[in-house]
């Protein structure tokens, strides 16, 4: 992946940040989109190490902002990773229209905006790779994740459609379906909803994976790197679980 151009959305924290660091460490030219101004410091830290990581502040839910951000990237794009997303806890009854629209705008429309803008650059010189972040929630019912599951199901089916439509252009499209991953979102969720019981609830959530723990962002980034690289060149239209046995080992 040396000197290849990698675009990662939601790259300033969590899984996205782990991906940025992984690809940058492998001498790729990384461009990461995020609304979080922490991206500036991340870019500086990696540049100080001699790595190539450029932060582009962008609201991917805006078609004009996403297009402007993608067009600002010089030359061809070899890999697009649609990682940016937000979560929501709630069933159909207690999901507001505002929450539903917000999740759709970021998780679905944002993926659409970035992919559509990147397609011309991905098509150059024989194609490239698109990797979408889905979730185990895309293919199995999880309590109180109505709106989130809706958006991840859309990510999965968008993956299939893009893979089918652009295979002749040399573009591969796959998605990853993680189980629970220990990110800052998890810590914030526990602190907000279970004050004083964070450790107990963290262990309870970890135990829902048969393997007995949550994934680390670095583990997701390693798989993303493999699928996006030439080593994964025979993979397209595939949903790859990385879930500690959540889907395959029902308990």
Domain ranges of the chain: 5-181+216-242
Neighbouring-strand partners of residue 129: 79, 172
Give the helix/strand (H/E) hosting 30.
strand 29-34
Does 250 score more than 80 pLDDT?
Answer: no
Given this model, what pLDDT does residue 41 score?
98
Tens of pLDDT along 76-89? 999 999 999 999 99
Given this model, what pLDDT does residue 226 score?
98
Distance of CA 125 to the CA centre of its chain: 25
* Closest listed residue to residue 239, CA positions, set 161, 143, 145: 161
pLDDT tier for residue 50 given thresholds of 50, 70 and 90:
very high
Report the catalytic residues.
Answer: 148
Give the sign of the dihedral formed by CA 46, CA 188, CA 226, CA 107: negative
CA separation for the pair 73, 177 (Å, rounded): 28
Does 193 score more than 90 pLDDT?
Answer: no
Given this model, what pLDDT does residue 160 score?
98
CA separation for the pair 106, 16 (Å, rounded): 15
Given this model, what pLDDT does residue 149 score?
97
Average pLDDT (58-68) is: 98
CA separation for the pair 81, 10 (Å, rounded): 9
Fold assignment, 5-181+216-242: Rossmann fold (3.40.50)
CA separation for the pair 190, 27 (Å, rounded): 36
Average pLDDT (94-118) is: 97
Tens of pLDDT along 122-163? 999 999 999 999 999 999 999 999 999 999 999 999 999 999
């Amino acid at each position: 992946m040396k000197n290849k151009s990698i675009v990662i959305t939601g790259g300033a924290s969590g899984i996205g940040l782990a991906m940025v660091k992984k690809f940058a460490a492998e001498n790729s030219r990384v461009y990461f989109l995020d609304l979080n101004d922490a991206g500036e410091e991340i870019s500086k830290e990696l540049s100080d190490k001699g790595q190539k990581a450029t932060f582009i502040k962008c609201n991917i839910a805006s078609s004009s902002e996403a297009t402007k951000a993608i067009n600002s990237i010089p030359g061809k794009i070899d890999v697009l990773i649609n990682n940016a997303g937000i979560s929501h806890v709630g069933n159909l009854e207690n999901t507001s229209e505002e929450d539903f629209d917000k999740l759709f705008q970021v998780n679905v429309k944002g993926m659409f905006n970035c992919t559509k803008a990147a397609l011309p650059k991905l098509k150059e010189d024989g194609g490239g790779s698109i990797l979408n972040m889905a979730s185990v929630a895309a293919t199995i019912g999880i309590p109180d994740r109505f709106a989130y599951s809706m958006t991840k199901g859309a990510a999965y089916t968008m993956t299939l459609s893009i893979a089918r439509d652009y295979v002749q252009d040399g573009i591969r499209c796959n998605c990853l379906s993680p189980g629970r991953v220990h990110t800052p979102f998890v810590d914030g969720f526990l602190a907000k909803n279970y004050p004083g019981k964070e450790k107990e609830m963290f262990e309870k959530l970890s135990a829902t994976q048969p393997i007995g723990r949550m994934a680390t962002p670095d583990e997701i980034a390693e798989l993303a790197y493999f699928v996006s690289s030439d080593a994964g060149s025979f993979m397209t239209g595939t949903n790859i679980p990385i879930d500690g046995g959540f889907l395959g080992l029902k308990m």
